[in-house]
Amino acid sequence: MKIDGRDGSDNIEDRRSSRRSGGKKIGGLTGVIVVGLIAYVTSGGDMGAVLQAVLSNATTSTQTTAAQPSAQEGQYTKLVSVVLKDTEDVWSDYLNKYDISYKKPKLVLYRGSTTSGCGAAQSAMGPFYCPADQKIYLDLGFFDELQRHYGAKGDFAEAYVIAHEVAHHVQNELGILPKVHKAKRSLSKKEANKLSVKTELQADCFSGVWARLDEDKNHILDAGDIDEALHAATQIGDDTLQKKAQGYVVPDSFTHGSSKQRREWFYRGFQSGDIRKCDTFKLL
C-alpha cells in the first residue's frame, strides 16, 4: 500500500506512554492473544469469557511502566494514521451522496490494557470497535501476531484489519449496530451468533467497498495488496481459528464467519464499490 508522503488522521488517541505489567507471564503478547482467541472462538464470541481467560493467566498486581515505540511501531503508526485518514475521506464522500453526515471515529492506540466505553480493553481481544464511545481500540502488537502466528503478512493485511473496525463504525452511523444489539436480546445464543456472523461479514464487505473507492480515488494499491487482504480474511475465519485452537470446528458457535465467507464478502465489496451489495441481512 502506498503510504509515503501521504497525510494521516488527526483522530488518533495515543495511550502507549504507559501500560500495565506484572509478575506472572504467559509467553508475552503471543500468549495473551492466543489465550484470548481460544476463549473467543470456543465461547461463541463471548467477550466476558475472553476477559476471564486473560485475567486468570495474568497477575493481579500491576504497575505503570513507560515504553518507547520501536522502529516497527513507528511504521505501524504511520500506516494506521494514513489508512484511518483514507477511511475518513472515503466514507465522508460516499455517505454524503445519501445526505448522511459521517462522524469520524477516534482510534485509540494502547499497550496491554486500557479502558473503553464498553469496559476493559485487553490485547487478547484484538482490535475492536466500541459503539458506546465510537472509538476503535488497537494494540499494535496485534500486527506482529497477524504475521508471525497467522501468516497474514503485508501492509494491506493490516489495512484490512483497520478498515474492518471502521466498517463497524459505519454500521453504527447507519443505525445497523443498534438494531443488531436490540435483536440479540430476544434471540437464543445460536441465533444471536448467526446475526453476529451477518454483521461481521457485512463489515468485511464494507471494507472491500472502502478499498475499491480508495483505489479509484487515490491509487493506493500495490501489486498483491488485495491478495494480502484476502489471505488475512482467510486466516481469521472462525473455522480456521477453531481448527487451530481446538482441533475441530463448531459452525453454530461462529460469530465472524468462515474463512471462505469472509474472503468472498470482502471481495464482493471490492468488486462493486457499493454498500448496497453488502446486504448480508435486510437492515439497510
Write the DSSP string, 97-160: TTT-PPPPPEEEE-SSEEEETTEEEEGGG-SEEETTTTEEEE-THHHHHHHHTT---SHHHHHH
| CA atoms of 101 and 94, how far apart (whole Å) | 10
Highest mean pLDDT among 20-24, 206-210, 243-247: 206-210
Residue 150 confidence class, pLDDT cut points 50, 70, 90: confident
pTM for this entry: 0.82
Q: Supply the pLDDT for residue 115.
A: 95
Which pLDDT value is given to residue 36? 52
As a whole number, the mean pLDDT across the chain is 84
At 274 the pLDDT is 96
The pLDDT tens digits for 172-215 are 999 999 999 999 999 999 999 999 999 999 999 999 999 999 99
The residues near 64 (Cβ < 8 Å, ≥ 6 apart) are 18, 19, 20
| pLDDT tens column, 36-71 | 554 444 344 444 444 444 444 444 334 444 456 678
280 Cβ contact list (under 8 Å, min separation 6): 198, 199, 201, 202, 205, 265
So where are the chain's domains? 12-277
AA letter at 25: K
What's residue 213's pLDDT? 98
For residue 248, the model assigns a pLDDT of 87
CA atoms within 13 A on the CB side of 276: 3
Q: Which of 149-153, 157-161, 186-190, 270-274 has the lowest mean pLDDT?
A: 149-153
> Please, are residues 170 and 163 in contact by the beta-carbon 8 Å criterion?
no
The residue ranking higher by pLDDT, 33 or 208, is 208
pLDDT at residue 258 above 60? yes
Q: What is the pLDDT of residue 19?
A: 52
- Percentage of the chain exceeding pLDDT 70: 81
Most confident of 84-88, 146-150, 182-186: 84-88
List, for residues 110-144, the tens digit of each pLDDT value.
Answer: 999 999 999 999 998 899 999 999 999 999 999 99
Residue 172's nearest CA partner among 118, 232, 129, 126 is 129
Q: What pLDDT is recorded for position 78? A: 96
pLDDT surpassing 80 at residue 167: yes
Tell me what pLDDT residue 151 has.
84
